[in-house]
């Protein structure tokens, strides 16, 4: 029942000129943090990103900061990218790639960026961001000698 309350709060978040209302986000995040298991809301947040792909949801925004507090979201992020990549989720993938020098990890994240760049549900801005990040990661890999 508590997750349903969070879902309802997420659905009620307002946008003005495709910009998220930061007060609504803050209220939802306060409610999330008050839960006994706040991390249980991560699937709801990724779903929210997907439903609002055309809107500016932050740079990166409070929800992304909350998600990135622990490294338990990688599989949820990849699943979200497979469903519907968004600007913010490809941005998160790029951050994960930036956070490692391990070639297999970089390969995992660059493969996700490549898939996002050709995903049929990705909008043009998302595809361009994915390609830009992919180019950056490929240059970075060459500089690392991998």
Q: What is the pLDDT of residues 96-110, one digit of tens each?
A: 999 999 989 999 999
Residue 1 has pLDDT above 90, yes or no: no
Residue 56: pLDDT band by 50, 70, 90 thresholds?
Answer: confident
Residue 52: pLDDT band by 50, 70, 90 thresholds?
Answer: very high
Residue 146 has pLDDT above 70, yes or no: no
Instruction: Please check whether residue 48 is in contact with residue 28, taking contact to mean a CB–CB distance below 8 angstroms.
Output: no
DSSP symbols for 78-104 = HHHHHH---HHHHHHHHHHHHT---HH
Q: Return contacts of 67-75, CB within 8 angstroms, 24+ apart.
A: 67/42, 67/92, 68/92, 68/95, 70/39, 72/39, 72/42, 73/42
């Amino acid at each position: 029942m508590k997750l349903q309350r969070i879902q309802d709060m997420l659905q009620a978040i307002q946008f003005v000129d495709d910009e998220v209302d930061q007060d609504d986000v803050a209220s939802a995040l306060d409610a999330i943090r008050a839960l006994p298991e706040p991390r249980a809301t991560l699937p709801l947040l990724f779903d929210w990103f997907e439903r609002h792909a055309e809107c500016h949801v932050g740079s990166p925004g409070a929800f992304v900061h909350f998600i990135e507090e622990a490294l338990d979201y990688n599989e949820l992020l990849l699943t979200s990218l497979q469903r519907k990549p968004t600007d913010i989720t490809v941005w998160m993938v790029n951050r994960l790639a930036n956070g490692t020098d391990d070639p297999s990890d970089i390969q995992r994240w660059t493969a996700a960026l490549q898939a996002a760049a050709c995903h049929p549900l990705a909008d043009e801005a998302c595809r361009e961001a994915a390609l830009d990040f992919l180019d950056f990661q490929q240059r970075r890999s060459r500089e690392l000698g991998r």
